Amino acid sequence: MIKKAVIPAAGIGTRFLPATKAQPKEMLPIIDTPTIQYVVQEAVDSGIEDILIISGKGKRAIEDHFDRNFELEYMLENKNNGGVLNEIRRISDMANIHFIRQKEMKGLGDAIYHARLHTGDEPFAVLLGDTVIDSIIPVTQQLADIYNQYQQSILGVEVVPQEKVNRYGIVGGNNISDRIMEISNLVEKPTVKQAPSNLAIAGRYILTPEIYKALEQTKPGKNNELQLTDALKILLKRENIYSYTIEGKRYDIGSKIDYLKTIVEFGLKRKEFSKEFRAFLKERLSSKN
């Protein structure tokens, strides 16, 4: 059973400056809900009871978001705004959330290494804080189910177009079934030529505790950062690793255009204004300016 999750959320968010000058990119809202709240919700819906968020400089807003806010609750109570009050209280009760700070930005692998004392000798889930996945069965649950079968590290992957392989960790290997592959190679952000396939790591993992030893042996890689993908390559010498092609739609909040598309799609799904929003988009797209 996977009971613990790690959410790395320490990155600087350079691509979203100046919006991220004084607030973490994981707090960028999709309409009215911060991205990281969707990620925490996915973990909770997957049966995770304990979450460690790896935060960093300027990330206090994330801690505050998952904490009680008595002043706000008092104010909402006086205004008789029960619906919002319940939602605000629910957020602080979602799970046992802990925080640890990554003091220097040394990469995703280093961020994960900060979780070693917290997760100990248990396998754990990793959910990247800037990726939201809309699915019927929460993706972390999908991966946990495969983990229960294989008892080895499982990487959530999805097919990406050739021109996007250089944005992701790409895996190659032998297909075991429609969605499951035994991995034999991993490359972080390869060129089209170097890419072993077009299956990209989709920001969701189940990792065995052996990953920490592998991380200790990992040298800085792409962008001079300690890459989780490179550590997985070392882990592969000792343990099998499997990939699972996730069922769901992934929203990468890490790029501006994808963020914009995400907001539009989520807007179209919101009952209270989807009709009006759809009509607005139609009208905008048919007008000449």
- Closest approach, Cβ 186 to ligand G1P, in A, equals 8
Q: At what angle do helices 70-78 and 82-92 cross, to 10 degrees?
A: 160
Distance CA 57, CA 33 (A): 22
Would you count residue 218 as binding ligand G1P (CB under 6 A)?
no
1 Cβ contact partners less than 8 Å away, ≥ 6 residues apart? 47, 144, 148
- Closest approach, Cβ 204 to ligand G1P, in A, equals 9
Which of 140, 229, 243, 262 is close enough to bind ligand G1P by CB under 6 A? 229
Distance CA 155, CA 243 (A): 5
Which of 124, 168, 242, 251 is close enough to bind ligand G1P by CB under 6 A? 168
The nearer residue to ligand G1P, 68 or 164, going by C-beta atoms, is 164
Q: Closest residue (Cβ) to ligand G1P?
A: 169
Which of 20, 35, 131, 198 is close enough to bind ligand G1P by CB under 6 A? 131
Would you count residue 158 as binding ligand G1P (CB under 6 A)?
no
Would you count residue 128 as binding ligand G1P (CB under 6 A)?
yes
Distance CA 20, CA 240 (A): 39
The two three-digit tokens of residue 187, written as one number:
């490359």
The nearer residue to ligand G1P, 76 or 199, going by C-beta atoms, is 199
- Exposure of 26 by Cβ count < 10 A (0-12 exposed, 13-18 middle, 19+ buried)? buried
Which of 53, 200, 211, 241 is close enough to bind ligand G1P by CB under 6 A? 200
Would you count residue 248 as binding ligand G1P (CB under 6 A)?
no
Stretch of 28-36, 54-62, 198-206, 236-244 contacting ligand G1P, by CB under 6 A: 198-206
The residue to which tokens 């707090």 are assigned: 27
The nearer residue to ligand G1P, 96 or 184, going by C-beta atoms, is 184
The nearer residue to ligand G1P, 138 or 156, going by C-beta atoms, is 156
The nearer residue to ligand G1P, 76 or 169, going by C-beta atoms, is 169
- Exposure of 256 by Cβ count < 10 A (0-12 exposed, 13-18 middle, 19+ buried)? exposed
The two three-digit tokens of residue 167, written as one number:
């944005």
Extended strands (E) in the chain: 4-8, 29-30, 33-34, 50-55, 96-101, 124-127, 131-134, 153-159, 169-175, 180-188, 199-207, 241-245, 249-252
The nearer residue to ligand G1P, 27 or 231, going by C-beta atoms, is 231
Would you count residue 169 as binding ligand G1P (CB under 6 A)?
yes
Using the 8-state DSSP alphabet, how is residue 104 labeled? Answer: S
Indicate the residue type of 180.
Answer: I
The nearer residue to ligand G1P, 40 or 199, going by C-beta atoms, is 199
The residue among 6, 241, 44 whose CA lies nearest residue 124 is 6
Contacts with ligand G1P in 69-108 (CB under 6 A)? 108
The nearer residue to ligand G1P, 34 or 203, going by C-beta atoms, is 203
Which residues of this protein are in contact with ligand G1P, per CB under 6 A?
Answer: 108, 128, 131, 168-169, 188, 200-201, 203, 227-229, 252, 254
